[in-house]
């Protein structure tokens, strides 16, 4: 919704959600978006918001170091707070946790993209939000702002 309000097309919105798997970063980038996008502040802002991933990667390094660099970085691309926490719990209990990190990350990322796609292309089909209760009214109000 925020991307569409920032004049991104439906396709661009889905592409952004596919490439930027971090909600706070998307909102920050959209706040800086405009006619002339200044790339350096945009990159620095997104980096600062996502700096916690450096710490998350550092905590996982004892287990990730066994992987070749390409697999190591590919696994961290889909890292999020949820799958990191599950992986750390498993790994600290001497259980396999890298599958949780990669598999959980791929699952979350996939649902992230599908959810964006559904919202962008089908969000306006809720014509009677009252049928869904207060939550439906809120969702419809947000969608109508687009």
In a domain, 102, yes or no: yes
In a domain, 52, yes or no: yes
Task: Report CA 68 to chain centroid distance, whole Å.
Answer: 25
Among 62, 63, 29, smallest CA distance to 43 is for 29
Residues 19-70 have pLDDT tens digits of: 887 878 888 877 777 667 778 888 888 889 888 889 999 999 988 888 899 9
In this prediction the pTM is: 0.71
Question: What is the rounded average pLDDT for all residues in the chain?
Answer: 81
What percentage of the chain carries pLDDT values higher than 70?
82
Q: Which residue range(s) make up the domain with 100?
A: 10-124
Residues 128-137 have pLDDT tens digits of: 666 666 665 5
In a domain, 36, yes or no: yes
Residues 102-135 have pLDDT tens digits of: 999 999 999 989 988 888 888 777 666 666 666 6
The total of structural domains in the chain comes to 1
Task: Report CA 129 to chain centroid distance, whole Å.
Answer: 27
Please state the rounded mean pLDDT for residues 9-13.
83
Q: How confident is the model at residue 91 (pLDDT cuts 50, 70, 90)?
A: confident
Task: Give me 133's structure tokens.
Answer: 């209760």
In a domain, 142, yes or no: no
In a domain, 65, yes or no: yes
More confident residue, 27 or 146: 27
pLDDT of residue 1: 67
Percent of the chain as helix, strand, coil, to the nearest 5: 75, 0, 25
- Please, which residues have CB within 8 angstroms of residue 132's CB and are 6 or more apart in sequence? 126, 139
Query: Around 107, how many Cα atoms within 13 Å sit in the side-chain half-sphere?
Result: 8
In a domain, 80, yes or no: yes
């Amino acid at each position: 919704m925020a991307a569409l309000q920032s004049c991104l097309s439906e396709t661009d919105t889905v592409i952004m959600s596919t490439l930027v798997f971090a909600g706070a970063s998307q909102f920050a980038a959209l706040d800086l978006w405009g006619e002339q996008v200044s790339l350096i502040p945009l990159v620095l802002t997104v980096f600062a918001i996502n700096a916690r991933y450096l710490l998350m990667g550092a905590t996982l390094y004892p287990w990730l170091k066994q992987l070749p660099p390409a697999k190591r970085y590919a696994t961290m691309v889909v890292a999020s707070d949820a799958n990191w926490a599950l992986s750390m719990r498993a790994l600290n209990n001497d259980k396999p946790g890298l599958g949780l990190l990669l598999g959980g990350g791929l699952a979350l990322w996939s649902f992230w993209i599908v959810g964006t796609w559904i919202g962008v292309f089908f969000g306006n089909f809720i014509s009677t939000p009252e049928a869904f209760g207060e939550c439906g009214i809120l969702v419809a109000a947000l969608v109508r702002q687009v």
